[in-house]
Structure formats: C-alpha cells, structure tokens
C-alpha cells in the first residue's frame, strides 16, 4: 500500500512538473504568435502608407464649409495689427456729452 502511495505521489509530482513546463511553453508560443501578428500588422500598415499619402484627404471643418471671402485673402495685414487692442476704442465725446456732464 505504501509503495502504491509513493508511486502515485511521484506520478502526481511528475504530472505537476509537466503542467508547469507546458504552461511556460504555451506562454512563449503565445508571445511569439503575438509578436508575429504585430509585425504583420505593421508591415501591412507600412505598405498602405505610401498609397494613402498620395491621395490628399480633406478634413471637413466649420471653417472649410463657410464661403471664403476673397477680399480678406487679397488684403494683407500690416504687422501693426498685432499691437492694436481688439476692444473698441472710446467713443468721441460730442458737445452734448461734455455740457451735460458739467
């Protein structure tokens, strides 16, 4: 009976070791498969990229949908526009503004 128990224990130990080895092998195999798949995807993408760069892709934005004003395109702004305040300047005081305030 003791011999049978020892034999079964050895068998269980050997099977556990075999399972661990198979897990490691499977992990390595999956890792290799994943790397190969990523390489294939990258290669396919790099093959498609030159074709895609040849065709110009337009991105539709709100600005591109608006009708372009040709006057603005022709009129060049001088660098001084950067220094002007976007806020409206003070309104010129009329005669009535001055006399009523005093």
Q: What is the pLDDT of residues 22-78, one digit of tens each?
A: 999 999 999 999 999 999 999 888 777 655 555 567 777 777 677 666 555 556 667
Determine the structural domain holding residue 13 and report its residue range: 1-46
Work out how many domains the chain is built from and give that number: 1
Q: Decide if 15 is inside a domain.
A: yes
Q: How far apart are CA 45 and CA 53, in angstroms?
A: 12
SS3 for 41?
Answer: helix
Residues sharing a CB contact under 8 Å with residue 64, sequence separation 6 or more, in sequence order: 58
pTM over 0.75: no
């Amino acid at each position: 009976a003791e011999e049978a128990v020892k034999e079964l224990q050895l068998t269980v130990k050997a099977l556990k070791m075999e399972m661990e080895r198979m897990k490691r092998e499977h992990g390595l195999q999956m890792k290799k498969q994943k790397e190969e798949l990523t390489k294939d995807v990258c290669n396919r993408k790099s093959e498609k990229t030159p074709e895609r760069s040849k065709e110009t892709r337009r991105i539709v934005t709100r600005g591109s949908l608006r009708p372009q004003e040709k006057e603005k395109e022709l009129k060049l702004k001088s660098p001084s526009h950067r220094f002007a305040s976007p806020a409206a300047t003070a309104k010129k005081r009329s005669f009535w503004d001055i006399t009523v305030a005093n």
